[in-house]
Structure 1
Amino acid sequence: MIDTKYLLKHEFIGLNIEIISSKNPSLIGMNGKIIDETKFTFKIKTQYGIKKIIKNQVKMLIKINNNKIEIDGNKLIGRAEERLKK
């Protein structure tokens, strides 16, 4: 189980997300499962296929432990292993 207090330091692959705000309006409302992560992007498996999301252009809801947590993508810039060191 992932403790929401330390969410920014955890692996995001496998978590469900929903885009709630974006510089690109067509992304708002997109939801799916994170299947890959790079320093600047997430790949999300949606009902319409695989989409690449630029982290610093979105705010998202991460669905975890029956909770929805709002996260600004700017806080997620960097690889998972880099976030662990912060």
Structure 2
Amino acid sequence: MISCQNVARHELIGLDVLVAGATNPSHAGLGGHIIDETRNLVVLQTETGIKKLPKSGSTFRARLPDNSLVEIHGSALILAPEKRLKRA
């Protein structure tokens, strides 16, 4: 089960997130639903369309299925999703 302690080892697709901080100021404050993920990018469906955001330099605030909030530093997610899920 996904929790605040193990979120980096779980599937992120389907989570609602807010970009709490980013090196690109235009990304800060964006919110949406994660629809895809690559090694270096998170793809969000926002109210204004699809946005591809770099993981590096971004901090995401995600709402987990139990309705709790967790802050995730994008640099901790830089790995192919299938490899990150296998990582202990």
RMSD between superposed Cα atoms in Å:
1.1
Q: Which runs of 5+ in 2 are unaligned?
A: none
Counterpart-to-counterpart distance in 1, 2:19 and 2:7: 17
1:4-42 CA distance string (max 9 Å, x none): 321111000000110011110111110000000000001
Query: What's the TM-score once normalised by structure 1's chain length?
Result: 0.93
SS in structure 1 at match of 2:33: strand
Residue segments in structure 1 that go unaligned for 5+ positions in a row: none
Higher helix share: 1
In percent, how many aligned pairs have the same letter? 38
After superposition, the C-alpha distances for 1:31-62 in whole angstroms (9 at most, x for unaligned) are: 00000000000110000000000001201101
Structure-2 residue corresponding to 1:15: 15
Aligned to 1:58: 58
Question: How big is the shift at 1:68?
Answer: 1.1
Matches within 5 A, 1:20-39: 20-39=20-39
State the distance in 2 between where 1:80 and 1:26 align. Answer: 25
Moved over 6 A (4+): none
